[in-house]
A and B are shown apart, each in its own frame.
Chain A
């Protein structure tokens, strides 16, 4: 075995999928973040469906129920949770439109899909801030 070949063999190989690699070395590209957040926001919204239906039900059933819900959504932990759900909805909405455009072969290049991913992340935050501002 030549010296060079021996050196190549001794070269430490990257140990991917170790905890350290997963936490610090492998970075999810921004498109991956949009994708996984699309899933997380989807599950979050599914989980919140029962809450939303309960609020719709109570607010429509009686005038006192409507007043109760109005008071209820004014409490800060409820407001905060609703704001998270507003973000989840906005993100799911924006990312969904991006996926529809990708289906239509629009902006599928590496650079342009990176740009549209940043747009989705920024737009959903901006919409959340705007709705939060408007509602409270």
Chain B
């Protein structure tokens, strides 16, 4: 069916991205909880050794990217729902994007120090 719809057409893509990123976040969280509660006492050596492994760095980066993307969609939805003045909403959205972009940079710095 070829319906004429209005809008910017990003709704379905974002809806899907929100769910896919959620699945990645959930899987990573469960794995981390299992690893951390595995019985080995977490000392500084164990902690840094865990984050020095290539797979852990890549998995954690994937987690951060998913998390940041997920937060952006969620915060945008909330701002669209509750903040009516256009200027204020746009400012808060820009602020959210800048914060999240800096978190991404920070997380890369933490993982590859």
The minimal Cβ–Cβ distance linking A11 to chain B, given in whole angstroms, is 35
Q: In whole angstroms, how far apart are the Cα atoms of A52 and B19 in the complex?
A: 23
A67 touches B44 (CB 8 A): yes
Given known A-B contacts A43-B78, A53-B103, A60 and B71 have beta carbons under 8 A apart: no
Per-residue A-contact encoding for B85-113, CB less than 8 Å = 1, 0 else: 00000000000000000010011011001
Can you identify 15 A-B contacts, CB atoms within 8 angstroms? A39-B74, A39-B78, A42-B74, A43-B78, A53-B110, A57-B110, A59-B44, A59-B47, A60-B110, A61-B113, A93-B29, A96-B26, A97-B26, A100-B23, A134-B37
Report the interface size class on chain B: 20 to 34
CB distance from B23 to the nearest CB of A (A): 8
Interface residues of B (CB under 8 A from A): 19, 22-23, 26, 29, 37, 44, 47-48, 51, 67, 71, 74-75, 78, 103, 106-107, 109-110, 113
Q: Are B113's CB and A53's CB within 8 A? A: no
Q: Are A93 and B26 in contact (CB under 8 A)?
A: yes
- Inside 8 A of A39's CB, which chain B residues have their CB? 74, 78
